[in-house]
Amino acid sequence: MNNTSKYHKIVLIFLIIIFLFVFSYSQITQPNYPYIIVTPSSPIANKDSVKLQIILGTASNSCMAPTFSNEKAVIQQSPLAVYPPQYIVTVSYKTIPVPPDKICPMIYAPINYGPVFDLGILSCGTYNIIDSDKSVGSFNISCESSNSNTGSVTWKNATFTISTDKYIYYLTDSLLVSYSIINKSNSNITFGPFSGNCEYDLVISVKGGPEIYRESSDNSLCLRNQVYVTVPSLGTITKSYPKFGYPSGIETFVALLDSIELTLSNQLRGAQYDSSRASVDIKIKRYPPSYIATPHLQKDNLSIQVINFNKLVIFSQSKEKTNIYVFAPNGKILSESCFSKILDIGNNIIYINKYIKNKGIYLLQVKTKSFEKTFKIVIN
């Protein structure tokens, strides 16, 4: 045997030893498949776009890994009336195996492989992943309000910031807005005088379009006394608005366009304080395609009972205007079936099939100033 042959044998034996060592090590440390990876690792509800990867295995290098196509994910909310809500994410995909005749380099550069799903922006809750009727993992999105959707301006040594609890809202949601002033100077800053209860002004506009609500003209409850807004040195004051509904006509916009973007602006009241105006954008959307809602806000002065699926009994302790919105299961608002009533004290009987002419499954939202509930109803 010549020296060249001996050298080749030695190299071959050395490579086999390395391969066996790496293979044995990889078998010992191999995780249990499948498992999931969520990006970002701690997504923020109604803000971050979420990606999900189901890890099916590890290949010795990228050339040896199968690829995937037709990745789809269907998200459905569980009908269980629990909080935080539960969701089922059913995935499907096509696996494209490595061709048996494909030549790959003998390089150990391990890579995890598996299909990737772009889930988009999600609501808070627990998401259970189902692949081929088997659970492969779950992840949570916190329901804690983070006021992460913000816009700020700086003026006169102060920062003015408007915040909403999320960026994307649905028709059953209410807006939650706050406005803060941070004093960055070493002395107090005073603004005013203002009429009592009218220190701030909130304006809502269609993004890039007309103004549709202004607190100073649509909801003026100013008092006669004069007040000042004083922000202490290096301090912060915050104006927090109670949750409130959308300006009139938003439901129609959403029904026609599927969604609408609004610009919310807040400032100290008066033209001389226009420089304190901070703005932030939000989007109003229809229900998700599989949305089955649970009550958002409920008080004891109103209760709802469904009898034989066609008759709605609403018990009220006071006269109150009630708006009833009707949605198809895919979230489309059925404006021709929506109606309003002034409730009498006591039981109010409403025959739903008077307003909904076709048989089927619908979502009903019952909404007053102090009550909001959305539920599924079957018309037969």
DSSP letters, 103-169, are: --------EEE--EEEEEE--SEEEEEEETTEEEEEEEE-------EEEEEEETTEEEEEEES-SEE
pLDDT of residue 126: 86
pLDDT of residue 210: 85
Cα(181)–Cα(278) distance, rounded to whole angstroms? Answer: 10
pLDDT of residue 291: 36
pLDDT of residue 17: 57
Per-residue pLDDT of the chain (380 residues; tens, 9 = 90+): 555 565 556 655 655 655 555 554 444 445 688 999 888 877 877 777 889 999 999 998 989 999 999 998 888 877 665 667 788 888 999 999 999 888 888 888 889 999 999 998 888 888 989 998 888 988 888 765 445 688 999 998 999 999 998 888 887 778 889 999 999 889 999 999 998 888 999 999 988 888 888 887 766 678 888 899 999 888 899 888 888 888 877 877 777 677 888 999 999 999 999 999 999 999 888 755 433 333 333 344 566 666 555 667 777 777 778 888 887 765 677 878 888 888 777 777 778 778 887 777 677 788 877 677 776 776 66
pLDDT of residue 82: 60
CA 284 to chain centre: 11
| Cβ atoms < 10 Å from Cβ of 330 | 12
Cα(19)–Cα(3) distance, rounded to whole angstroms? Answer: 24
Helix (H, G, I), strand (E, B) or coil at 274: helix
pLDDT of residue 148: 65
> Can you tell me which residue has the tokens 């400032």?
267
Pairing of strands 278-285, 168-170: parallel
pLDDT of residue 7: 57
249-258, long-range: CB < 8 A, 24+ apart: 249/212, 250/171, 250/212, 250/284, 251/171, 251/325, 251/333, 251/335, 251/338, 252/335, 253/206, 253/284, 254/171, 254/284, 254/285, 254/286, 254/333, 255/286, 255/332, 255/333, 255/335, 258/285, 258/286
